[in-house]
Structure 1
Amino acid sequence: MNNDLLIVISYYSERSDSHLKKLLSSVSNINQNIVVVINSDECIDEVTGIFNGYKAITRPNTGMNIGAWDSVYRHYPNFKYYIFLQDECVMTNAEFMSAYVSKLEIQSVGMIGESINHKWDKPWLEMMKSPLNYPVNIFEHGKILSRVEYYLSLMSAWNANPGLNGRHLRALVWGFSGDVLRRIGGFPIGKTKEECIASEIAISKKTEQLGLKVVQIAEESFKYFRHDE
């Protein structure tokens, strides 16, 4: 492997690998630097190996996509650029690599992806009044926390300044430089679905905390990769 750009593809072992194989087939025509990371319910420790001819890491199923991506970054920390994909992504534009690298080379840009989550692109006080702010099964100071309260408390624990709003990139496709990943210290890993969503938001916020922009790669969502969601 050269150390310019690494493509990381996360996959959950309980699903069919048909999407994963299709994605591997399409992106490997653009870049051979690929690592597959497999989240497995049966795995106790991280194990390196090969999947379909590509380097692979099999790991315990923690942190969902973000946990998988973080694992590969820590195994391969010296790449200049990283593109993180989820196996159910479908490549729709073969120029994705040059587009991502060109955007990441802009000094003011720290994190890019295919889709901003517009449902959360509102001030935190407004989010607290949103139907999305349902209670979670977490007790603190004698009361059940709402999602926003819980996410904000997790971000505080992860040293992520939440800023003014919940704007963030969905954890389906992300692009980073190795420099920014080092500066944010990799990704915080959630143990539950709610913690993983908080981590998704926190990573955008930790990037903004560096004074860098978190941007959608194109004006329209899913220009280079789409997703079944």
Structure 2
Amino acid sequence: MTNPLLSLYRRDLALAVRIGGSALMGVLFFLIVVTVFPFAVGPDLNLLSRLGPAILWIGALLATLLGLDRLFEADREDGTLDLIVMSGQPLELVVLVKCLAHWTSTGLPLVIATPFFALFLAMEPAAIGATMLTLLVGTPALTLLGAIGAGLTVSLRRGGLLLAVLILPFTIPVMIFGVSAANAATVAPSPFMTPFLLLCAITLATLVLAPLAAAAALKSGLD
């Protein structure tokens, strides 16, 4: 017998690939952000390499926000969300599975594309590896935080802008520790593990708390 949560994950992943190609759109948006910065900053390769981790993190944050407003809205519009709620499955686990599907189709491709886009910023191999590792650990937190905003705006049409306004302030700690850890890999006196472990702690905290908050917001929006 097929696990309902596994079926939900496969369904969301298939829809993300089929409708709009979330992975492709996210990577293209990521590429646009990364390529715009050199034009704005100028051809100073030393400056670009220093700003590289921050640019990549900003691009990943903005690309992750793409499509988050549709995380629950599409299911609410066609009645699937009501069926999921009535199925008896814990809504918190449903939220977690949908976040996993979104991260697999959007966040993971960004991590994989990072080494290629880092070449535009003249980043060193150590900085590229550190940035990839921090994005691998930190982007799930961005998706989970976005799920809270998606739950709060599920009953609103075109709530994408409101979602960004609600969620962006809460992503600041993720950005701070992610960029700090990536920068520390290229600066010898700076410890890499301290900001990296704090980033891991934030992701673990959102893994526990975000599904609870998003599920509560969904229940409130469906009532």
TM-score, normalised relative to structure 2: 0.28
- Which is richer in helix? 2
TM-score, normalised relative to structure 1: 0.27
